[in-house]
Amino acid sequence: MVLMNMYGKIHRTIISEKLGIGICNPTPDWVEALQDDFEEELLIHKHQIKSFNRSGLDTSWAYNRYNLEKIIVKLGWQEEGKTSMQIIAEHLIEIQVSDFDNSLLQMKNDHLDSPTCEPQYSRKFLNLCCKIQSAQSAQKIIPNQIPFSTYNSDDFDRKPLILNFLEAMLYPHPNYPISIADYTAGGIKSLKYIGGLIDNFLATDKDFWLFDYIVNAMFNDDSHDAYHVFKVMSLIEMLIINPKGKGKTAGELEGKLPQFLPDRIPMECRTLFSEIARKLRNKIGHGDFEAVQQLLAQYRDSFMQNFWYDECEYSVENWTYGNICLNLDAALNEILWLMLSDRDHLAMIQAS
């Protein structure tokens, strides 16, 4: 099971027909099982408060936290004859491969969508949707945030935080006030929109394998380091470089990548950024660590002159990689949005 930070009673909704992915409320069996996770989360919270008190720390912030009855009343979820835990569990929303029999995922595995030793496909799908929606071009059309995963039943090492995420939604940022109901409605609308784009894209078997390659490549990679630069640059090159160039990207990448870079990089500096990124990807791939350090220094001199490096958090090298990765990730998200929303335009860019 994969839960999202959306809440409420909903009808079963298809997000992607061709992949068989949909969203729904938990089944009765899961409603019962999730209450065990609630109890574990409450016990951990009580233990943490006791530990803080023994250490003399202020725990006033925890007063009245995890008051399930208060949460239900605030959300108007009261139901006679049901416990607060049951009510909350019934209002959770999960994303799943709900129609595997008619899913293109059968091309990968005849038996099930997510083999037991692999991450659940619904998590990977949701991760990609989040990244695509974060593209600046996408937000002009689907401004509602894609929900993120709050619970994964296969992650036995992670402490449950289901109630924590729900309670956080009760107190939105004052600059972005939105009710849970409105957030959920917007999230579903955005998911269905991107799911529709994905279904339109998946016209051939080749399209599916390309999409699947991207889904897997972009999943579970929060590190901002040399290897992230190498992987993202490889994806960017795959999507915008003319395959007839036989792997030669010099000049071509500098001409194509700038249009996808974020606004925080001035137009007059984008060609240089693209050149450094291309060279960095190649030197990382060849293990030329001396040239890598020279390129990182060049990047700092060109793009991070007024940057404050807190070396108690990261080394200067990792601050540099982080800055590069943020810009490359933004560019890749823009490219993926174009791939789904106007593949003919992307094909024209690739062939030029």
Q: Residue 37: what pLDDT?
A: 95
Residue 211 forms part of a structural domain = no
Query: 21: helix, coil or strand?
Result: strand
Q: Does 151 share its domain with 197?
A: yes
Q: Residue 197: what pLDDT?
A: 97
The alpha carbon of 253 is separated from its chain's Cα centroid by a whole number of angstroms, namely 26
How many contiguous H segments (helices) and E segments (strands) does the chain have? 14, 5
Burial of 219 (0-12, 13-18, 19+ CB in 10 A): middle
How many CA atoms does the CB half-sphere of 158 hold within 13 Å? 10
- Please name the residue ranges forming H helices in 118-269: 121-133, 136-139, 162-169, 180-201, 205-217, 226-240, 252-256
| Residues in contact with 6: Cβ distance below 8 Å, sequence separation at least 6, in sequence order | 23, 93, 147, 183, 184, 187, 188
Q: Does 235 share its domain with 306?
A: yes
Residue 189 forms part of a structural domain = yes
Q: Does residue 331 carry a pLDDT above 90?
A: yes
- What are the φ/ψ torsions at residue 16 (nearest 5 degrees)? -135, 115
User: Domain range for residue 225?
Assistant: 221-351
Given pLDDT bands bounded at 50, 70 and 90, which one contains residue 177? low
| Residues in contact with 238: Cβ distance below 8 Å, sequence separation at least 6, in sequence order | none
Q: Does 161 share its domain with 269?
A: no
Asked if residues 162 and 151 have their Cβ atoms less than 8 Å apart, the reply is: yes
Asked if residues 159 and 117 have their Cβ atoms less than 8 Å apart, the reply is: no
The residue out of 204, 238, 265 marking a domain boundary is 204
Residue 210 forms part of a structural domain = no
Q: Does 156 share its domain with 227?
A: no
Q: Residue 143: what pLDDT?
A: 82
Q: Does 313 share its domain with 346?
A: yes
- Mean pLDDT, rounded, for 157-184: 84
Q: Does 148 share its domain with 33?
A: yes
Q: Does 244 share its domain with 167?
A: no
Q: Residue 174: what pLDDT?
A: 67
Q: Does 50 share its domain with 188?
A: yes
Residue 213 forms part of a structural domain = no
Domains contained in the chain, number: 2
Q: Does 195 share its domain with 225?
A: no
The residue out of 204, 233, 253 marking a domain boundary is 204
Q: Does 165 share its domain with 231?
A: no
Q: What percent of the chain has pLDDT over 90?
A: 78
Give me the residue label for tokens 């990765």: 325
Give the residue among 190, 180, 119 at the shortest CA–CA distance from 337: 190
C-alpha distances out from residue 21 to 86, 94, 149, 308, Å: 26, 11, 15, 44
Give the residue among 30, 142, 155 at the shortest CA–CA distance from 94: 30
Q: Does 237 share its domain with 200?
A: no
The residue out of 204, 239, 254 marking a domain boundary is 204
Residue 216 forms part of a structural domain = no
Residue 196 forms part of a structural domain = yes
Q: Does residue 247 carry a pLDDT above 70?
A: no
Given pLDDT bands bounded at 50, 70 and 90, which one contains residue 176? low
Residue 34 forms part of a structural domain = yes
Measured CA to CA, the distance from residue 180 to residue 75 in angstroms comes to 8
Measured CA to CA, the distance from residue 167 to residue 240 in angstroms comes to 43
DSSP 287-343: T-HHHHHHHHHHHHHHH-TT----TTTS-HHHHHHHHHHHHHHHHHHHHHHHHHH-H
Q: Does 234 share its domain with 137?
A: no
Asked if residues 160 and 41 have their Cβ atoms less than 8 Å apart, the reply is: yes
Q: Does residue 246 carry a pLDDT above 80?
A: no
Taking the whole predicted model, whether its pTM rises above 0.75 is answered as yes
- What are the φ/ψ torsions at residue 276 (nearest 5 degrees)? -65, -45
Q: Does residue 118 carry a pLDDT above 80?
A: yes
Q: Average pLDDT over the chain, rounded to whole?
A: 92
